Amino acid sequence: MPQRPLSGVRVLDLTNVLAGPYCSYQLMLLGAEVVKIELPGQGDLARHLGPEAELNRTGIGASFLAQNAGKKSVEIDLKDAADRADFEDMVRGADVLLENFRAGVLARLGFGWPRLRELNPRLVYCAISGFGQTGPMSQAPAYDQIIQGLSGMMSITGTPDTAPLRIGFPVCDTVGGLTAALHICAALAGRDRTGEGTFLDVSMLESAVSAMGWAISNYLVSGVPPEPMGTQNATAAPSGTFAAADGPLNIAANRQQQFETLCALIDRRDLLDDPRFIDREQRKQHRDELTAELEHALRRRTAREWEQLLSTAGVPAARVTTVPQTVELDQLDHRGFFTELPFPDGSARAFKAVGSGVLHDGEPLRPTGPPPLLGEQNPERRALTSRWNDRDAITP
């Protein structure tokens, strides 16, 4: 593979658990050298999270393995004078400093933006927090579920009978991490022109509201609040989940031509002349009746059979899979999405790390190695700091 886009970029990663580590994982895949700064003897809380108690006990929990491959780990206590001096040296040689403490914590430790900029005027400092560094909620603690609730996301997830529901994975942490990674890359590009660093104040709440797109904008424009619709799509019909012979099937016939093709393939051309289904707006108003008619026909075949038939004809359709089924999809294997890595403890066991979802010149970006043990690079700390402060040195 050609040189990765962020090759030579040095990232000091003070983050824990999810939003921050997910951000720095994306930067690592893009070629950055990421050094996790972890509290001595404790490390990232994610080291102790996951479904296997033994892995949690040894500090390599599944939650940690998920997004820390290819990084390095150095133990530093920012309340210790010697460690603070070493940290300052690392800041001088870094390109990016990333943290997700509660707002103001790093400043209270003596490393607010004015001090960081004094140490390194070219530094891109990114602080991820639940609500941002300013405002009446800036000091409130926040986890993903808190943000899901406050963003309005939970209120439109589920059905009228089941909402509000939490989305089944930490989507706000993930979106916050992606938002941070995007703006870090933009700040680095801007620095190439100006020579000056940037302070990025990332709010998970604002990132989540931004990601909700149509749900927020439609309300701001129309004044009509969105409602939970289960598996259905508010903008079109038929667009949602339908029962096939053996299980659920997603169909998104959002265009008139797709609806016409769908009706032909299920042998229900008569639906095209039904005034209830004559166009998009009528179909939305008679969504339940349309669903009943379609499911009567769809029960004649399996979800996989319909997926192949409809997709081939240009109607977006696919079965609903479980996580174990998803990771076995031939499409992901073809694209090289997963990378098998050894466990950091040297055991014979291996695990698979996820990719970025982007091919660069036809190739996936893969982790450069397994996640680090806590403090694995402690013996290299001085050498690493020296290399970072020698801008001509090559990152190994």
190-229 in b/e burial notation, b at 16+ Cβ within 10 A? ebeeeeebbbbbbbbbbbbbebbeebbebeeeeeeebebb
What's the Rg (C-alpha) of the chain?
Answer: 25
Among candidates 307, 323, 288, 287, which has minimal Cα distance to 245?
Answer: 307
Rounded to whole angstroms, the Cα distance separating 173 from 23 reads 10
Rounded to whole angstroms, the Cα distance separating 158 from 250 reads 16
Rounded to whole angstroms, the Cα distance separating 165 from 148 reads 9
Residue 102: CB atoms within 10 A of its CB come to 17
Q: Which are the contacts of 233, defined by CB distance < 8 A and separation ≥ 6?
A: 239, 240, 252, 254
Choosing from 77, 83, 173, 270, the catalytic residue is: 173
What order do you get walking across the sheet with 124-129 strand by strand?
Answer: 72-75, 33-38, 10-13, 96-99, 124-129, 198-203
Q: Are 341 and 350 in contact (CB under 8 A)?
A: yes
Among candidates 318, 319, 338, 320, which has minimal Cα distance to 328?
Answer: 338
Q: Which are the contacts of 38, defined by CB distance < 8 A and separation ≥ 6?
A: 44, 73, 74, 75, 76, 374, 375
Q: Are 73 and 43 in contact (CB under 8 A)?
A: yes
279 burial class (0-12, 13-18, 19+ CB within 10 angstroms)? exposed
Q: What is the DSSP letter of 95?
A: S
Q: Is 173 a catalytic residue?
A: yes
Structure tokens at 274: 């039904």
The per-type count for the chain, helices as H runs and strands as E runs, is 17, 13
The residues annotated with a catalytic role in the active site are 173
